[in-house]
Amino acid sequence: MRGPAFDTPMGARDGRGPAYAWWYLDALSDPQPDGSAYALTLIAFIGSVFSPYYAWARRRHGEAVQPTAHCALNIALYHRPPGRADYKRLWAMTERGEPQLRRSAEQLQIGPSRLAWQDDGTLHIEVNEWTVPWPRRLRGRIRLEPQLLPGQAFALDTAGRHLWQPISPVARVELDFQAPRGLRWRGDAYLDANWGSRPLEQDFHSWQWSRAALCAHAGCRVLYEVQPLSGERRALALDIDAQGRIAQRPLPPDCPLPGTAWGLARSTRASQAPDLLATLESGPFYSRSLLRDPLDGSMAVHESLSLQRFRQPWVQALLPFRMPRRAKGIRS
């Protein structure tokens, strides 16, 4: 099961369907001969949940706003040079309108970039974007080969308005980019999807999420902890084995992590505090980090999200600098 189809009906115009959907991919490179390291994150949004334009439109027009009018492909490429601890980043996230959206069950095109499932079960992604705030071309191909396909979705809230599915929690990825020129690497990857019927900030205060590939491709460990606006925290602590079987494990103790430069709180669940290797993204409402388990050395991609920070007017006023909008045409 490949998660929600790319052509899932969206929003009020269809009389049913989610207010948002996104497909998330992250990857870490295999060890490099020179000691450097690479990483990437790619998210394809329909009804971009972190879009200030979508939030402003909903405040003006309510449920009449179509999710398909607010789409984006977000890609971040990271590189840690030899002998360095910090990662350099290239970031692109241009929001596009409905005329720039093309989709079928197996293919999703947002502007000049495209995701497509192939007959052999692989996911091919063609990236053709411009970075912000300084314009630089990002053009290349990504091929993801799923290793596991558990085929199970989980509700993140008691009402079942927000769903998450680990599509392929263990996968292999290959990158071949013409811009930046000569960027080629392979590595381990993770693919999931989220979709829901209401804006996230209407139901959640915050969440903490992480995924770690277990050694020797033995599976994946995922932690998803959400703080609803009302009620107690909800957490999923999942082990997904090499056959794709999902088992809920006892919830480890709460483990605070250092806050970010923006004062954003971070935490995880672990029997022993992990090493914070790098902060890949740090913003007023979101952070993405790399953690290492001191017990087995496994690497985890971790994110912290404050949706009540996101809804603040001063935060949304900053976001267009990271997320320009082009609502017409299909050109990049």
- Given a cut of 60, whether residue 166 has pLDDT beyond it is yes
Specify the pairing of strand 107-110 against strand 101-103. antiparallel
- Given a cut of 80, whether residue 66 has pLDDT beyond it is yes
The band of 296, judged by pLDDT with boundaries at 50, 70 and 90, is: confident
- Given a cut of 50, whether residue 13 has pLDDT beyond it is no
Six token digits for residue 292: 């290492």
The Cα–Cα gap between 18 and 40 comes to 27
- Given a cut of 60, whether residue 329 has pLDDT beyond it is no
The Cα–Cα gap between 165 and 1 comes to 10
- Given a cut of 90, whether residue 301 has pLDDT beyond it is yes
The Cα–Cα gap between 194 and 156 comes to 10
Chain segment 123-160, per-residue pLDDT in tens: 999 999 999 999 999 999 999 999 989 999 999 999 99
Whole-number pLDDT of residue 216: 60
The CA-atom distances, in angstroms, between 278 and each of 37, 179, 295 are 12, 25, 18
Q: How many residues does the chain have?
A: 332
The band of 44, judged by pLDDT with boundaries at 50, 70 and 90, is: very high
CA-nearest of 287, 285, 262 to 276 is 287
Name residue 326's amino acid: R
CB 293 within 8 A of CB 300: yes
At residue 149, the 3 state secondary structure works out as coil
The Cα–Cα gap between 153 and 194 comes to 9
Residue indicated by tokens 């920070």: 309
For the ranges 14-23, 206-215, 254-263, which has the lowest average pLDDT? 14-23
At residue 185, the 3 state secondary structure works out as strand
Whole-number pLDDT of residue 42: 98
**Mean per-residue pLDDT over the chain, rounded:** 93
Whole-number pLDDT of residue 1: 62
Q: For each of the domains in the chain, give its residue range(s) and CATH number, in order of start.
A: 15-322 (2.40.370.10)
